[in-house]
Amino acid sequence: MDDELELKCTIELMAKPKEVAVDAAKKIISNIEEGGRHLDVSNVEYAEPKLIKDDFYSTYAVFNIKGTIPEIFGFVMDYAPTSIELIKTKEIKVSPPDLQALLNDLAGRLNDMDQKIKIFSGQTILLSRENEELKKKLDKQENHH
């Protein structure tokens, strides 16, 4: 699977305040470039952050990225770009073992995300219950005074 893909990608983010949005976008691109994969990032353009609400700013980075199918696959899973345009249009062949490895990687990452979501959801439910119990205790204390 030595075929390289080249994509044009957009990654959007929201942050507060404006300076943090710009720095966060630059840090994401830096992380992609230095993330241990052999990805070639080029033609990076940063959008001017726009005020959304309550001092939250939205911005995005548009860039080209080049790498092998597994590297690009990992990048997409790790960074979830909001748009992907395939620039290199040469036909790409994937062997059955390589496709199986990609699908197993996808399944593993999705299972990991699912587990994290379930844990987070459970923690949220527990915190909500604790919050309700604390409210009831506070109400009882206020009613006794």
Task: Name the DSSP class of 96.
Answer: H
pLDDT at site 89: 63
CB atoms within 10 A of CB 69: 19
pLDDT at site 2: 53
Identify the H or E element spanning 142.
Answer: helix 96-144
Residue 114, judged by CB atoms within 10 A of its CB (0-12, 13-18, 19+), counts as exposed
Is residue 1 very low, low, confident or very high in pLDDT (cuts 50, 70, 90)?
very low
How confident is the model over 5-34, as a mean pLDDT?
Answer: 90
Q: Give the CATH class of 4-93.
A: alpha beta
Residue 71, judged by CB atoms within 10 A of its CB (0-12, 13-18, 19+), counts as buried
pTM score, two decimals? 0.70
pLDDT at site 74: 87
Q: Which residues pair with 53 in a beta bridge?
A: 56
Q: Which two tokens stand for residue 142?
A: 């206020």
Greatest CA separation for the chain: 77
Tell me phi and psi for residue 38, to 5 degrees. -100, 60
pLDDT in tens, 50-103: 999 888 999 999 999 998 888 888 899 888 899 999 887 667 788 888 888 888
